[in-house]
Structure formats: C-alpha cells, structure tokens
Amino acid sequence: MTTATHDHDHDHEHHGPAKGLTRWLYTTNHKDIGTMYLWFSFAMFLLGGTFAMVIRAELFQPGLQLVQPEFFNQMTTMHGLIMVFGAVMPAFVGLANWMIPMMVGAPDMALPRMNNLSFWILPFAFAMLSSTLFMEGGAPNFGWTFYAPLSTTYAPPSVTYFIFAIHIMGASSIMGAINIVATILNMRAPGMTLMKMPLFVWTWLITAYLLIAVMPVLAGVVTMMLMDIHFGTSFFNAAGGGSPVLFQHIFWFFGHPEVYIMILPAFGIVSAIIPAFARKRLFGYSSMVYATASIAFLSFIVWAHHMFTVGIPFLGEAFFMWATMLIAVPTGVKVFNWVTTMFRGSMTFETPMLFAICFVVLFTIGGFSGLMLAVAPADFQYHDTYFVVAHFHYVLVPGAVFSIMAGVYYWLPKWSGKMYNETLGKVHFWLSFVGVNVLFFPQHFLGLAGMPRRIPDYALQFADFNMVSSIGGFLFGASQLLFLYIVVHTIVAGKPAPAKPWEGAEGLEWTVDSPAPYHTFSTPPKID
Amino acid sequence: MQMKLQRAIIALTALLMSSVARADWTLNMPRGVTDISQDVYGLHMLTFWVCVGIGVLVFGVMFYSMFKHRKSKGAVSANFHESTKVELAWTLIPAAVIFAIGVQATYTLADMYNFEDSEVTVEVVGYQWRWRYRYVDNNAEQEVSFFSSLSTPRDEINNRMVKNENYLLEVDEHLVLPTGKKVRFLLSSSDVIHSWWVPALAVKKDAIPGIVNEAWTNINEEGIYRGQCTELCGKDHGFMPIVVEAVSPEEFDTWYAAKQQEAIETAALFDKEWTYDELMELGETVYNSACASCHQPDGSGVPGAFPALRNSTIATGTADGHLDIVVNGAQGTAMAAYGNQLSDVDMAAVITYERNAWGNNVGDMVTPVDVFNYKAGE
C-alpha cells in the first residue's frame, strides 16, 4: 500500500506517461496523440497503397485478368478515400500535434481532451468504411468524388455506411482544426508574435481555417445524399426536380479547398527543412505568409474548374479559368522563394533535404500540369483522362506524401531520441524518387493520347505506358516497406541523437532534449 | 547445343522486334481534324512551352546552387533573406505571362460556345452502358435514331481470343456525320452522368440526366474517329466507346436516306405474325445487348447489385407484372425504364426470352401487339 502510494507520487512528480494500453486510450498528451495519428496514417497509407497495387496489377496488360469491373471501381474509390482522409490528412494532423506546441513554446494543445476524441473516432470511421468491402453489393464504387446519381439512386447499399464514415472523419477534422487554431492563437509563448511563428505553424493556421470552413459543406452534401437515398428527397434526382450538377457544385466547394488542405502544411514543412540544410534563412518569410493566405482565399473561388465539361455558361467558364490561372502567381512566389533560399547557401543533402528538394521539383511539375488544366478549352481534352490522374498524383505523392516523409526524417530524432540510418534513408529516397516518376510520368502521355481515368481495361495503344507505369507502381509500393523498416529500426536500435542533430536547424523544438520530454515548456521559453 | 542457343536468340530477337514494331509510344495530344481542335492543340503547346521555359529557369538556378553552393565544396552561406523588388518582379512577370495565355484561351472558349448556325443536329443520350443517337429533323417522315454499343467480343476482353486492332474502341453502329457542315450535339442522359468525348474533334461534354447540354463540331477531313465515355458511370464505364464516321455530304445524304428506309422496314415488323421460335431468337439478341451486362448472359445476376432473372418471381410470374418492370423500370434502383428504349417488337421478344430461357420455362409468349396494348392500357 505504502509502496503503491509512493509509486504514484513518483509518477506524478515526473509527469511521465501512464503504463499499458490505457496510456494510449486516455492520453491527452499532444506527443502521444501525435504519435498515434502518425502510425494510424501510415497504416492507412499501406492499406490504400494495397488497393493501388490491385489497380496497377489489373492495368498491367489490356484485358481483364485479376478483378472484375465492379471490384475495380471499388478499389479506385476506396484507394482515393483512404489516401485522402486516412493517410494524408491524419499525417498532417499528427505532425501538427507533435510540432505546433513545441514550435510556439506551449505546454500542450489548447483542448487536450478534444484532441483525444478527435483521434479516437478515426479508427472507427475507417473500420466502418473498410468493412463495406465485405458487404453484399460491395464497397462504394462511385469514385472518391462520389457524383450523384451514381452514388445515390445507383449506389450499392453500403453507401449509407460510407456516409456515416465521412461524417465521423469530418467531425474529427473539425475538432482537430479548432484545436490547432485555439492553440496557435492562445498558447504562444510571450514574444512569439504572429510574424515570428515558423511557417509550418502559419500554414497550419490557415489550413485549419480552411478545414473549419469546408468540412461542414462536405457533411452537408453527404447528408443531402442520405436524404435522397432514404427519405425521398430529390436534391440530386432530376426526376424529382433536383439536379446532379448541384451535387458537383457543393462537392467541389468543399473539394477544392480540400486539395489545399493537403498541400499547405507541406509548404510549411519544406520551408523549415530547406533553410536548415542550406544553412541560410528562408528567403521572403513575409511573402511566404501572404502567398499562403492568397492561395487559401483563391481556393474558395475556383471550384468549378473541376466542372468545365458540365456545361456551365461561357462567363462562368471564363471566370473560373481566370481565377484558377491566378493561383499560379502566389504558388510561383513560393517556389521562387525556396530556390532563392538555396541560392548561395551552404548545402548538405541528408535524407530530409533530398525529399524536400524532390518536393520542390516534382510539386512544381504538378503545378505546371495544373496551369495547363486551368486553360478551359484545353481542359476539354485533358478532363477525366490520365493527364488529370498524373497531375494530382504529382502534387499529392511527391508533393504532400514526400513532404510528410521529409518531416518524419527531419523530426524523428526529436521524437524518438534516436538517429535513423542515413544510408538506408537515402536508399529509400532514391527508390521512391525513381518509382514515383516511372509510375506517374507516363500517365501524362496516356492521358494526352486519350485514355480516360477509372477504366479497368483499355485499348491496345495504351498498353506500353500502362505496363511501365505499373512497374513503377510496384517499385514505389515496395519501397515504402523499407520506410517502415527504417522507422522501426530507428526506434528500436538507432544511435542516440543530440538535442539538435541538424547544424542549420532553427526553432524552439531544437532547444529541448531528444527525445523531447513528455512535457515541454511548462514554463514558457523566452523569445527575443 | 550451339544451334539451339542461336535459334533461341533469333526467336527472342524477332519477338522483341515485333513488340517494338507494335509498340505505340504516343506522347502528345492529337491535333485533331477541326479548326477548334487545332486551336486547342495550339493552346496546349503554348502553355506547355511556357511551363518548359519557366521550368528551365527555375530548375536551372536550383541545380546550379545545388552543385556550386554545397558545404562539401566549402561554400559559405550568404546572409540575404528579403527583397521587396525581387518579390514584386516575380509576382508581376508571371502574372503578365498568364494574362497572355488567358486572352488567347478566352477567344477559343468563345468560339466553342458559339452554337449558332448549325446545319445538322444530333441528340446524344447516354445509357448504362451505350449511346443513343437521334438525328433531330422535324420534316422527316421517319426519324433516324439508333443505339451504338460496344462490339468487341467478351472473349477478347476475357483473354480467350486475340484482341483486334480496335479493341474496346469499336461499336455496332457508327455515328455518321457530314464533313464541312456545322453539327450541333444536344447531350443528355437517361440514368447517371456520362461524358461524350472524341479527341480528334476536341469535343467533350457531360451527358447529365435532367439537363440538355450543347456542343458543336465542324469536321474538315473524312475518316473514322474514336473516343470513349469519360465520366465514371458504373460497372461498364470502360466499355462504352464512341465511333464517329465523317463522310462527304453526298455520302451522308445517301446513308441518311437508307437509314430512314431501314427505320420504316423495322416499324413494319410490328404487323408480322411472330412465332415463339422467332421471338426467342430475336429475344436472345436483344437480351445480350440490353440486359446481359447487369443480369448476366445466363440470367444469374450479381448478388447484392443486380437481381437474378433465372427462377425470379417476376420472370416466372404474370406477363403484366413482367411487362411493368421492363417498360417502367424500378424507381430508386438501377433498373431503367425500357419502354422508350426498345421497340414493341424487341420488348415482346426479350420478355418472351426471359420467361422461357435458363429453365424458367413459363411456356407463354408475349407478342408485339400485347406490348402495344399493355402500353396503351396504362
């Protein structure tokens, strides 16, 4: 009895983590929750990746070999949903959880219990979504954009589970976003003015506002679907006086800001890593902040560029074309700033830097194809072809995903207190770099030659590039298992890391020990 | 031994050569065969070269820095980190470049939206998973309207037969259009959203239920142009191609007249005395083109998605109940109303077939007159 009390006091004094499974279930610690988000998103990345492997295997050769069209459509749908909502978004929230309190000198997130809730509802949402694969009629098969009426009148019964899963994911994202805004606005250490915040904090602040603005719109559109399916309304049913085009307007009003939600935090990560390894301050800090804000604003007024072929009037078409092309300007500013940061620096090329540089180059290529897609008359030729598939995978895989990997390599020493194996990290980078380009670059050619997206089988003239693309896909997929090995190996057997493993790194997170103590900045740091 | 090896090498080389000869490494968008498609190609190339130019500049500076300004070469980092002038320059210059592209694009867009003065109008309606074309002609005695479905055999898709050159890009009935005339398309859909795309014409427009969209083309060269549905429309989205056959206006008129004659003859089939065997034979053809993709060629359906017809209560129940679901469809499901998709003859044949095939053996037959009376009685 005495011993137990003593132990309890002992734990209390050191504010260490609880023991066992309940540590993870009940935790309100931003570092624990960040860790769970990151592992969860990696698990989803592997699951969504497995679906992608099925897709690429079926498309390896013309003809139907492995799966039937019904199942193929379930794979494309589930791949998209899991990667967007399960892999990329939770990974960024995980990074935000770990890093934002440490970057602004706060002891924890502003709303720790809500933080726990926003994570723990996610596994249920994805368990429910994945379970649809085993239901009669199969999983959702209408694409991750779930256009009505294919997703309402013509949907399999499992669509209702899909709608509920989306609601839960939306609730989780909104709670996460509110928490991040509250933390950044209220919990900064004295002296940490807004314009002194690291760019990762800035980009996440803006992203969080985007999330709060558009997640309810997504919830609204799936609720309207639910009403159409079960309660006899006709929002999207033409026979009842509704319009399928209304669905697309609402979906893309959510959907376009959503794609910036998946890229703005990436800008923040890269803006931390490039200066660190160029050993030179980030060029144009304030213009980076303004550019991010402009991109976020513009993201609300360009949604119909996803709908150039639905038959919107000439003036509407022209407006959305011009507004979309305008986004290239602030995006260009960011790229120019990164390059100028590298110019006349003193660079070294450790794994985080390799991923960050690769991000700048390949994200820019994705931006170029984005500019081409913005040109409405030309978009009539690109729309819904593999050119679009190539475009958004370039901004999402070597864009968002590589930035996350860069961030993991950069901050893993801080999280785990151990260094990863640099050679293995570089091998992982080069395999991923070659894999991703062999996978997605030929898809530009496929699209231009006329191959529509979301088809399980294709005409013979598309055979060669599809085979190349599939080979790249298998290489890229396999390389990510190496990533898993590297991270596990680091945690289990890595060499101890110093508090600041990177010579040129800047920021409060490097002023605390590695691994970061369970509670940091219980007394706010001094900022000059 | 050596001979064998030599022969193997020769065989392998031949195989490689032939696969290289067959290989199609098309890199770019087709220029197409209309003035608009040429403009679009021009815009595409303009934007592409602008991107290449910016890319060379940006990546040039970047790679120069990566080689010259590395620590291992003793580079010491500079201190600059701000310049309003530079920021202003790389905001305004790209804006100007984009403005130039935008102006060009707006002109082409305006052309694409000018639907006036068309000489031929074709209504294009998307169905799961085929297209219906109707030539809109108010003065015609007999309207020309037909379905256009994939004609690639299932055996080719399932790898039981060698795939032919136009694999998945061939249909039973071409959409025939005259060259040198402005053709207007009116697009809609009977079920989900489809999208009608022919790359050589640079026409892509969604076919949406409840909405009529417009598009137009004016083809300069005779030829056969192939395209596909480009909006995910369910299971057989990958299997509803489009084939446009552009012919001279004279040839078009001849074809059109022949089509009208054919339509008159088809209509006359209604008055024929149909026997059970004739209906069963026609019924199988109709079933395979209109019903089999969901309910399967052997009537077994797809569990959870499309009900089986074999031993189903409807197909073995009353003829009126059977007619009701095929003519009117089932609200809120994927079962479409076929009342205006199939002629009375085809409807009678397919219902007779479904009631007697695969061991259903109801034993009755439904005639075109029964179908007509059923529809009139509703």
Contacts of A357 (CB under 8 A, 6+ apart): A274, A342, A349, B62, B66
- Looking at the structure, do residues A373 and A451 belong to the same domain, yes or no? yes
**Distance, CA of A457 to CA of B159 (rounded, Å):** 12
pLDDT at res. B252: 96
> Touching check for A249 and chain B: CB below 8 Å?
no
- Looking at the structure, do residues B170 and B209 belong to the same domain, yes or no? yes
> Touching check for A463 and chain B: CB below 8 Å?
yes
How high is the ipTM of this complex? 0.91
**Distance, CA of A1 to CA of A18 (rounded, Å):** 19
DSSP lists the bridge partners of residue B195 as B206
pLDDT band of B12, cuts 50, 70, 90: low
pLDDT at res. B336: 82
Q: Which of B228, B118, B130, B117 is nearest to B172 (CA)?
A: B130
- Looking at the structure, do residues A234 and A280 belong to the same domain, yes or no? no
Q: Which tens digits make up the pLDDT trace of A428-462?
A: 999 999 999 999 999 999 999 999 999 999 999 99
Average pLDDT (B58-64) is 96
Kindly list the strands in the beta sheet with B194-198, ordered across the sheet, starting from the edge strand earlier in the chain: B175-178, B241-247, B223-229, B194-198, B203-207
pLDDT at res. A42: 97
- Looking at the structure, do residues A376 and A491 belong to the same domain, yes or no? yes
Q: Which residues of A touch B195 (CB under 8 A)?
A: 309, 383-384
Q: Is the pLDDT of residue A364 over 60?
A: yes
- Looking at the structure, do residues A206 and A272 belong to the same domain, yes or no? no
Q: Which tokens sit at A388?
A: 């679009």
The mean predicted confidence, pLDDT, of chain B is 89
pLDDT at res. B329: 86
- Looking at the structure, do residues A325 and A425 belong to the same domain, yes or no? yes
pLDDT at res. B40: 96
Note down the domain range covering B56.
Answer: 35-69+81-112
**Distance, CA of A97 to CA of A405 (rounded, Å):** 16
pLDDT band of B143, cuts 50, 70, 90: confident
- Looking at the structure, do residues B65 and B204 belong to the same domain, yes or no? no
Active site residue A228: no
Q: Which of B226, B152, B243 is nearest to A457 (CA)?
A: B152
- Looking at the structure, do residues B137 and B262 belong to the same domain, yes or no? yes
Active site residue A414: no
- Looking at the structure, do residues A80 and A224 belong to the same domain, yes or no? yes
Domain count across chain A: 2
> Touching check for B310 and chain A: CB below 8 Å?
no
pLDDT at res. B374: 87
Q: How many residues make up chain B in this entry?
A: 378
Radius of gyration of chain B (CA): 29
Q: Is the pLDDT of residue B13 over 70?
A: no
CA distance to A61, A70, A470, B52, per residue, from B163 (Å) = 12, 22, 21, 38
A372 in any annotated domain = yes
- Looking at the structure, do residues B135 and B251 belong to the same domain, yes or no? yes
Contacts of B72 (CB under 8 A, 6+ apart): A348
End residue of a domain, out of B235, B268, B301: B268
A360 in any annotated domain = yes
End residue of a domain, out of B209, B234, B268: B268
Q: Which residues of A touch B302 (CB under 8 A)?
A: 70
- Looking at the structure, do residues B87 and B149 belong to the same domain, yes or no? no
- Looking at the structure, do residues A236 and A294 belong to the same domain, yes or no? no
- Looking at the structure, do residues B208 and B276 belong to the same domain, yes or no? no
Record: contact B44-A347, CB cut-off 8 A: no
Contact A373, A431 (CB under 8 A): no
Average pLDDT (A18-36) is 92
**Distance, CA of B366 to CA of B274 (rounded, Å):** 10
> Touching check for B106 and chain A: CB below 8 Å?
yes
Give how far A448 is from chain B: nearest CA, Å: 5
- Looking at the structure, do residues A43 and A111 belong to the same domain, yes or no? yes
> Touching check for A277 and chain B: CB below 8 Å?
no
Give how far B147 is from chain A: nearest CA, Å: 21
pLDDT at res. B95: 94
Radius of gyration of chain A (CA): 23
pLDDT at res. B285: 87
Q: Is the pLDDT of residue A160 over 80?
A: yes
Q: Is the pLDDT of residue A11 over 60?
A: no
A7 in any annotated domain = no
- Looking at the structure, do residues B257 and B290 belong to the same domain, yes or no? no
How many beta-carbon contacts under 8 Å exist across A and B?
Answer: 304
Using DSSP, state whether B230 is helix, strand or coil. coil
What B113-117 contacts at long range (C-beta under 8 Å, 24+ apart), as own/partner pairs, is B113/A314, B113/A317, B114/B216, B115/B184, B115/B214, B115/B215, B115/B216, B117/B182
B27 in any annotated domain = no
B29 in any annotated domain = no
Q: Give percent of chain A with pLDDT exceeding 90.
A: 94
Domain count across chain B: 3
Q: Which tens digits make up the pLDDT trace of B209-250?
A: 999 999 999 999 999 999 999 999 999 999 999 999 999 999
Q: Give percent of chain A with pLDDT exceeding 70.
A: 97
A10 in any annotated domain = no
A241 in any annotated domain = yes
- Looking at the structure, do residues B256 and B298 belong to the same domain, yes or no? no
pTM of the model: 0.91
- Looking at the structure, do residues A345 and A408 belong to the same domain, yes or no? yes
pLDDT band of A17, cuts 50, 70, 90: confident
pLDDT at res. A252: 97
- Looking at the structure, do residues B251 and B282 belong to the same domain, yes or no? no
Note down the domain range covering A146.
Answer: 25-247
CATH of the domain at B194: 2.60.40.420
Active site residue A108: yes
pLDDT at res. A507: 94
- Looking at the structure, do residues A294 and A224 belong to the same domain, yes or no? no
DSSP lists the bridge partners of residue B227 as B242
